[in-house]
């Protein structure tokens, strides 16, 4: 029942945003025109420049965390992938015995 209520709410909002004129345009047309404005594009460029070093740092941290999570006994993720097929073969032979 809850999912049905949410579906009706989302459907109603979508209908309103894309079909009902607010002034001379729909809400989606207003948002589109604002997003395409020179000021908005300048803001996007400035935010990308300012967040560049932070984005790189976060990506390095996530990659290092993922490698640590996936590693066993201090191996890196790449080393683990190389040794994975050998381990699978050994497990398969022991399972069939």
- The structure tokens listed for 59 are 């990506």
* pLDDT higher than threshold 50 for residue 64: yes
Tell which residue, 7, 32, 3, has the closest CA to residue 17: 32
Average pLDDT over residues 36-59: 93
Q: Which residue has the higher pLDDT, 71 or 90?
A: 71
3-state secondary structure at position 25: strand
Residues in the chain: 97
């Amino acid at each position: 029942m809850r999912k049905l209520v949410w579906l009706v709410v989302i459907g109603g909002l979508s209908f309103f945003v894309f079909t009902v004129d607010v002034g001379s345009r729909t809400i989606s047309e207003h948002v589109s025109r604002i997003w395409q404005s020179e000021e908005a594009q300048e803001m996007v460029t400035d935010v990308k420049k300012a967040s560049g070093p932070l984005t790189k740092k976060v990506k390095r941290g996530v990659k290092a965390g993922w490698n640590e999570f996936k590693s066993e006994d201090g191996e890196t993720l790449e080393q683990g992938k190389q040794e994975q097929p050998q381990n699978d073969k050994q497990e398969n032979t022991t399972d069939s015995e």
